[in-house]
Amino acid sequence: MNQLDQAFAALADPTRRGILVHLASGEASVSALVRLFALTQPTISSHLKVLESSGLISRSRVAQSRPCKLEMEQLKAVTDWLENVQEIWEGNYKRLDALLAELKQSQKEERNK
Amino acid sequence: MKPAEVSTPSDREVLVTRSFDAPVNLVWQAYTEPALMRRWLTAMPGWSMPVCEMAVHVGGKYRWGWQSENGQEFGFMGEMLEVVLHSKIVHTQHFDPGNLGESMGGEPSVITVTFHETNGITHVATSIKYASKSDRDAAMSTGMTDGMEMSYQSLDEVLAN
């Protein structure tokens, strides 16, 4: 899998999304994440491994606790695309809202005839 | 209604969900009758949908074509795999690059649209399953080069489930 594939797969899991949201407010150690998510250390570690190989996070080699840090650039590549998709669909859906309101109205008028 | 939500249930799938303030029979009409589809499925500002042919039954073909004010064209076409009135449409989707000169790979995506009404509100879920990772990547790069204005959205919004 290339990194973008891995990023998509990584984002498919709610715990991993939760970890990313948490890291958006700053770096965190594994033990902090274990406490926060009330999961076992091996579970958190395996999620972090997936996130790290997808390029969405990095782990410091300096401190012994090896804190996790969000990698904004990779995340932005994925979120930009998702957002673009969202904009196109929402544009269509707003027009559909208007059309449906019109259809509802004419159905009502039809009934009242 | 809340804006559409986009998520990635797997590395080859994109899921778009949205609710509409209308009963399912009207939403179904808007999704299946060309005269109605043309009015909302215009994709982007400045674009229209001059081609919209639908044969809404299993094995039926459809063809959608868009055109921009400055003459760009592209489209989608495919076949209906499953049609359940007021409930579900599954169809294949081939990208027709028109004169955009881009390719979206050879294999068709599979689109599944489900409709579910509760108390007069219809919930629509659209799943786009790309045939392969390279098709998804191609679709992604096409989206990226559409020239659409992209503003950065907060993390929480995109990642919130």
Chain B hits for A21, CB-CB cut-off 8 Å, are 155-156, 159-160
Is ipTM beyond 0.95? Answer: no
Task: Say which residue, B85 or A79, is predicted with more confidence.
Answer: B85
Contact A82 B27 (CB under 8 A): no
DSSP letter (8 states) at residue A28: B
- Indicate yes or no: pTM above 0.80: no
Each residue's pLDDT tens digit, B101-153? 665 556 788 999 999 999 999 999 999 898 877 666 666 555 433 322 222 23
Share of chain A above pLDDT 70, in %: 96
B49 vs B158, which has greater pLDDT?
B49
Residue B114 CA to residue B148 CA, distance in Å, equals 28
Query: For A18-27, B12-21, B63-72, B137-146, which range has the lowest pLDDT when averaged over its residues?
Result: B137-146
Q: Which of A61-75, B12-26, B31-45 has the highest mean pLDDT?
A: B12-26
Interchain CB distance below 8 Å, B20 and A97: yes
**Residue A2 has what pLDDT?**
61
Residue B148 near chain A (CB below 8 Å):
yes
Chain A residues with CB under 8 Å of B34 CB are none
Among all chains, which residue has been given the structure tokens 């012994």? A64
Instruction: Look at residue B144 in the predicted model and tell me its pLDDT.
Output: 38
Please tell me the predicted confidence (pLDDT) of residue B159: 42
Tens of pLDDT, residue by residue over A76-90, are: 887 777 777 788 888
C-beta atoms surrounding A69 within 10 Å = 13
User: Does residue A13 carry a pLDDT above 90?
Assistant: no
Comparing CA positions, the residue from A56, A85, A80, A50 lying closest to residue B15 is A85
